[in-house]
Amino acid sequence: MPKKILVCVDMGRMADHLVEYGHSLAHRLEAEVAFINVLPSPHLWKGYGTWINPDVTREAEESARKKIQYLIRIAEEKHPEFSYQEHAHDRPHEHEIFIGQGDSAEVIIDTARRLDFNLIIIGFKGVSGIQQMMVGSTTTNVSRYAHCSVLIYRPGFDPF
C-alpha cells in the first residue's frame, strides 16, 4: 500500500506553516502528499440570490488553488532537498490539490477514505471561531471520525 498524506489547508494565518510541515514530513517519509481546502457550502448563499455573483464559487476555488500552489512553492524553496523526487529520475514532482465544498470535516474524511490516504494532517484550530461554536471543531470531528490516523499540527513545534 503506497504511503499517502492529505494536508488540510484553510486560508488562515497557519496555512503557510501547515503546508511547509506537511510537505517536508511527507518527503521525509517518502510518502505521496496532497492538499485539500474546503469552501463553505453553496447553500449558505442561496438566500442572497441575485446579490451574489454566480461565479463566486469558481473564483473562490481558483483563489484557494493558487494560494496553495504558492505555499507549496515557498515550502519547496525553503527545503530544496524536497523539490525533486529521487526515484522519479530528477523530474519535477507535482502535488494534487483538492478543493471541496460543504461541511469541512465530512469532505476531508470522505476524500481521505475514497482516495485511500494513510494520514491526515490538520491544524489545531481553523479560521472561524463562530463556525466552531455553532457546528463544532473540524479538527475534532476529523480526528474522531476519520478512517486513518490524524496528526494535529501545532505551529512552532517540529518533533523532527
CATH number at residue 124: 3.40.50.620
Q: Are 138 and 106 in contact (CB under 8 A)?
A: no
- Domain presence at residue 68: yes
Cα–Cα distance measured from residue 20 to residue 74, given in angstroms and rounded to the nearest whole number:
8
Residue 158 lies in a domain: no
Q: In total, how many domains does the chain have?
A: 1
Q: Residue 22: inside a domain, yes or no?
A: yes
Q: Is residue 30 part of a domain?
A: yes
Give me the pLDDT at residue 48, please: 58
Q: Is residue 45 part of a domain?
A: yes
What local confidence, expressed as pLDDT, does residue 132 receive? Answer: 47
> Which of 12 and 114 is assigned the larger pLDDT?
114
Q: What percent of the chain is modeled with pLDDT above 70?
A: 74
Task: Tell whether 19 is covered by a domain.
Answer: yes
Q: Are 72 and 23 in contact (CB under 8 A)?
A: yes
Angle between helix 15-28 and 56-78 (nearest 10): 60
pLDDT tens figures, 37-63: 999 876 665 555 556 666 778 888 999
CB 33 within 8 A of CB 7: yes
pLDDT per position as a tens digit, 111-160: 999 999 999 999 987 555 545 444 458 999 999 999 999 999 988 766 65
The structure's pTM equals 0.83
In the three-class reduction of DSSP (H, G, I as helix; E, B as strand; rest coil), residue 123 is classed as strand
For residue 90, the enclosing domain spans: 4-153
> Residue 92: what pLDDT?
52
Q: What's residue 125's pLDDT?
A: 72
Rounded Cα–Cα distance for residues 119 and 121 (Å) = 7
- Residue 160 covered by a domain: no
pLDDT top residue among 13 and 36: 36
Mean pLDDT of the chain: 83
List the grid coordinates of 132: 466552531
Region of 156 please: left (phi>0), alpha (psi -120 to 50) or beta.
left
Half-sphere exposure of 64 (CA within 13 A, CB side): 22
Strand order through the sheet with 4-8: 96-101, 32-39, 4-8, 119-123, 149-153
| 30 phi-psi bin (left φ>0, alpha ψ -120 to 50, beta other) | left
Please check the confidence at residue 87 and state whether its pLDDT lies above 50: no
